[in-house]
Amino acid sequence: MIWLAGILAGLYLGCLFGLFLYGINSYVLILLHRRHRRAALAADAAIQAGGGERPETMLPVVTVQLPVFNERYVVERLLRAAASLDYPRDRLEIQLLDDSADDTREIASRLVQQYQAAGVQVVHLHRTVRTGYKAGALKEGLAACRGEFVAIFDADFVPNPEFLRRTLPYFGDPIVAMVQTRWGHLNRDYSLLTTGQAFGIDGHFGVEQGSRAWAGLYLNFNGTAGIWRKTAIQDAGGWQADTLTEDLDLSYRAQLKGWRLVFLPDVVCPAELPVQIQGFKSQQQRWAKGSIQTARKLVPAILRAPGSWFKKYQAVIHLTHYAAHPLMLLVAIASPLLLYLDWFFASWRSLFASTAFFCLATLGPSALYCYSQRVLYPDWRRHLPYLPSLMLLGTGIALSNTQAVLEGLFQRAGDFIRTPKFAIQSRQDSWRTKQYRSQFSWTAVGELLLSAYCAIGVYLFLERGRFLIGPFLILYTLGFGYVGILTLLHSLGPRPAAVRQPSPSPGRWPIYLLVPLLGLFASVCPVF
């Protein structure tokens, strides 16, 4: 068993070190944010103050692209917000890029005719074949648009009327390719699920994006709530569909061409958070798979490009940060095995080293998320009690995101599974009797098995007095259990007769991946 313990210990320490690198980088981003924030916000204020000097007749033509697919509940809200943008009508073009296969097409057609009759320049471009998915729709729309600048809003977003007035002044710098605004939340307090998501999104936009933009690091367009210079898109090679994160891909290609991206933390674009756990998981899987695909595609070019090694290192961390989930999964699986073999954790030195790595990996992101609340909200202390909801989500989706990361390593592109939207904005709204509900995912079984497995690990750690490691396995136990049970609960109940939203993938192979690991544990641990 010594050789097995050695392999497991090496795997365990390697995963802990990887988590340490991602965790410690959260402190780096906080420091960068604190160093540059005041000067960056002062520069933004100066640009905003001078933004109104341009005569109305000299404003550029702007195209607003609205990519949608089966959005019967929110397409009207989206079109209304786009038509309400404060901008001269003769210089505003709206493209509804509609790939819908349900009655969204008829709803959208009727709405477009109404807005056209009211003098709004809006066109309805419908495709029957979703070639390239969202990237393909944006590419076809770009070829037909007449705007010098192109703003993009997904179906779950509701841009404020002043959006264009507050973003266009930054294009006075001829090397600015894109301006990204901060995501807000229409339904933050709807449930524990949406509260946890909001916490995580705030961390990304409240700290990470600002840190990267202000420190001269690689920044990314988030796929929506941003505006591009059309010539920059074309110069960077246009929209490409060989990854599931066409926005991240284009962002890096543009910056490798010498363009600059801008982030505005004080311009907020509200959005509807997913209220279904399977919708959230499919969104996270798409982002995880797509970011790893983008890393495969572009990291060699990034390493060859001009720039400091720190900038390149940050780019690699940025593009591969979803790799933390496979590392978390392996740590959760290896910890009870190592304890039962009674070799690695028998040493207090090993125990303290593991605890230190765990703390740095766990507390780094937590510190970043808490700092983001302080930066963004005057009543930030009111949000802090909801941090555990994010921690449960972050650990609970490790299995499904591991599947996505592995697919991203070995596959190109893939199916673009949309996130269902139900026009949920208050706690009185309900999604359970609406269309687009996701089907049951077998990953829920794997998550519940992992929860039980980690609970056994907690028992073993406590029984043997290794109290320093036990709390981390408790987090895994609760996280996997929370996500697995929520997936089951959200799959129950009556469904409408309309076509249902498919699961992100067959979802069975991650469970089979667990079988040999659980079998290994069963062979050495009589508690099974």
Show which residues are catalytic: 99, 247
Burial letters 209-247, b for 16+ CB under 10 A, else e: bbbbbbbebbbbbbbbbbbbbbebbeebeebbbebbbbb
CA angle 190-363-20, nearest 5°? Answer: 125
Query: Residue 330's closest CA among 17, 65, 53, 1?
Result: 17
Question: What is the residue-wise DSSP string for 362-416?
Answer: HHHHHHHHHHHHHHH-TTGGGTGGGHHHHHHHHHHTHHHHHHHHHHHHH--S---
Contact 139, 99 (CB under 8 A): no
Please state, in angstroms and rounded to a whole number, the distance separating the CA atoms of residues 71 and 325.
31
The enclosing H or E element of 149 equals strand 149-152
The CA distance from 8 to 2, in Å, is: 10
Closest CA to 484 of 527, 454, 518: 454
User: Helices in 168-258 by DSSP H: which ranges?
Assistant: 192-203, 209-214, 230-235, 246-256
Contact residues for 503 (Cβ-Cβ < 8 A; gap 6+): 278, 282, 417, 438, 439, 440, 441
Whether 79 contacts 122, CB under 8 Å = yes
Closest to 391 in 3D by CA, of 472, 492, 512, 277: 472
Cα distances from 459 to residues 109, 367, 437, 473, in angstroms, run 60, 29, 37, 10
